Amino acid sequence: MLKKLLLAVCVSGIALTACAADNTATAVPATDAPAPGPMLGDGVDAAALKLVQQSLAKLAPGVQVAVVNRAPLPGFYQVIASGQLVYVSTDGKYLLNGDLVDLGAKKSLNDAAWAAYRKAELAKVPSSARIEYAPANPKYRVTVFTDVTCPYCKVLHEHIAELNKEGIAVDYLAWPREGVTNPLGHPTATYKTMVSAWCAADRKAALTEAFAGHEPKAASCSNPVRAQFELGEKLGVSGTPAIFTPSGRMVGGYLTPAQLLQVLQKEG
């Protein structure tokens, strides 16, 4: 289980933050499988990884490094760690926090790195852990981190039939905005509601009821809610709904069915 932390770094007035809840709640699946190691790009070896880890540890002890690539910016590594994308110099002395833009191509070089990482991580989530609302033969599929208390998540769900009619399948993952546990270490109300939905005999019906403001029948089981909350943090989710396309791009925030269809059509 990944260690959760509050990563707060101020370098010349630049703040690097990753805010996470304390995750000590029960009723989550146990696993003896070791956590996968960081993804290393071409030209990045164990020594480079160690340098990056040691450099970031000076600012945030215990930071979890997920990806290290050679950056398009000479002399730097492009690093994804604890839900943030930063650049660390190859001598370990400097850190840049911001969007790297290719002026010639007029595009962000952060976006492609994020998309590749997010696509790979989301592909690891089994269909059995998702709550799916889909037409018979979907043309498109999106993954949505959601919270049953979030107003815009409720609005999005009110349009689920329209989304399905447009050929869009929606796979929900749980992301209780107030976290998994409160400051006293007890499960939050939203977490318990979402666990009940994920543990219901009819998960789709229970989740729809929860969006409508009706508390589902209390239930507990081995469930993925906490793991999905942690995954969202790793992927840089900071609010809901967080909508991801098949390419790994995060495109919302709330989008109307017409807006989301247009995004997916452009992506192909």
Closest CA relative to residue 2, chosen from 53, 65, 44? 65
Contact 73, 98 (CB under 8 A): no
The three-point CA angle 209-211-214 to 5° equals 45
- Could you give all domains of the chain from N- to C-terminal order, each with its CATH number? 36-122 (3.10.450.70), 127-267 (3.40.30.10)
Mean pLDDT, range 44-52, rounded to an integer: 94
User: How many CA atoms does the CB half-sphere of 198 hold within 13 Å?
Assistant: 31
Distance from C-alpha of 15 to C-alpha of 50, rounded to nearest angstrom: 23
Mean pLDDT, range 12-19, rounded to an integer: 30
Q: Mean pLDDT in the chain?
A: 87
Closest CA relative to residue 174, chosen from 110, 266, 220, 240? 240
Query: What pLDDT sits at residue 16?
Result: 32
Query: What pLDDT sits at residue 42?
Result: 87
Is residue 257 pLDDT above 50, yes or no? yes
Is residue 182 pLDDT above 80, yes or no? yes
Cite the beta strand spans of 32-164 per DSSP E: 39-40, 65-70, 76-81, 84-89, 95-96, 101-102, 107-108, 131-133, 140-146
Is residue 19 pLDDT above 70, yes or no? no
Query: What pLDDT sits at residue 36?
Result: 67
pTM of the model: 0.84
Helix (H, G, I), strand (E, B) or coil at 20: coil
